[in-house]
Amino acid sequence: SEMCIRDRQRAMEEVSAMKIRVKFKKWGCMKFIGHLDMMRYFQKAVRRADIDIRYSEGYSAHQIMSFAAPLGVGITSDGEYFDIDVNTTESTEKSIAALNAQMVDGVEVTGYVLLPDDAKKAMSLVAAADYVLSFKEGYESPYTIDEWKEAIDKHFFDEPSFVVMKKTKKSEREVDIKPLVYKLTVMENNKKPEFFMQVSTGSVDNIKPEFVLQAIYEKCGLDYNPLAIQIHRQEVYARKDDGTLSCLLDMGEEIS
């Protein structure tokens, strides 16, 4: 029957689909472009780069594309990801070159890998992310590097918990965020302190790095100025079955 033929065609199409994960950087004035505009930007760039992307079925067909943890406005990053379904694909090298030929200053594609057929979407896998928080030009740190190290040891590491008031649109509640901060160190950059953090990210336990820093400031009796801090995301991770973290790009293979 006609229905059986359609089902068979759909099954064949599903088999032929390939899942691709793309990694990109975002910096400069592009940090002010919001998530929805970035999505539209890449939809156009993918089309112009002649990537053989698949479209959804139905009247308003759209590209099959999903982004991992969306980035806040004003944040720069070396580790942004989106997944697409394609019918056919060129090599990793050619695909990156084709996409980068369409990029504006402030965005660069750095990875393009083929995922296993049973791979879950990046969006649902995100478990953690690395961030560096540094003082912007013209802003001074209230503490020296050693003073920050002492303060973080005293208020964060030496205490059994790190309870903060977390506000949502509907309520506020006390939350111990210590289990959600996997790494926290103070480093030096141009003789100024900067903070490295690995925090829980994703749909279940999501903690923003600036929220952690603000809470530390408050414990130290300092006034936190969000305008003084530049946030940079370095990498995004998924949690593997054995509990360890894996970079989202490492879950696929380069195409030769």
| DSSP-based three-state secondary structure for 138 | coil
- Kindly tell me if the per-residue pLDDT of 79 is higher than 90: yes
Helix (H, G, I), strand (E, B) or coil at 33: coil
Phi-psi region of 202 (alpha: psi -120 to 50; beta: other; left: phi over 0): left
Number of other residues whose CB lies within 10 A of the CB of residue 154: 12
Block residue for tokens 């959600």: 180
What is the number of other CB atoms lying within 10 angstroms of the CB of residue 227? 8
Tens of pLDDT, residue by residue over 111-157, are 999 999 988 888 888 999 999 999 999 999 999 999 999 999 999 99
pLDDT of res. 181 = 96
For residue 203, the model assigns a pLDDT of 75
- What is the C-alpha separation between 111 and 93, in angstroms, rounded? 9
Amino acid of residue 155? H
Tokens for 66, please give them: 């999903």
Give pLDDT tens digits for 227-255. Answer: 999 999 999 999 888 889 999 999 999 99
Tokens describing residue 82: 């989106």
In whole angstroms, give the CA distance from residue 229 to residue 132: 10
Q: Phi, psi at residue 130, to the nearest 5°?
A: -100, 135
- DSSP class per residue in 192-218: EEEEEEEEE-SSSS---HHHHHHHHHH
Q: Note the pLDDT of residue 20.
A: 97
Judged against a pLDDT cut of 90, whether residue 59 lies above it is answered with no
The whole-chain average pLDDT of the chain stands at: 92
The better pLDDT of the pair 13, 157 is held by 157
Calculate what percentage of the chain has a pLDDT beyond 90.
78
The number of residues making up the chain comes to 256
pTM recorded for the entire structure: 0.90
How confident is the model at residue 177, as a pLDDT? 92
- Predicted local confidence at residue 173, as pLDDT: 87
Q: pLDDT class for 205, splitting at 50, 70, 90?
A: confident
Whether the pLDDT of residue 16 is over 90: the answer is: no
Q: Is the dihedral of CA 172, 217, 234, 251 positive or negative?
A: negative
Residues 155 and 162: beta-carbon distance below 8 Å = yes
Predicted local distance difference test score (pLDDT) of residue 9? 55
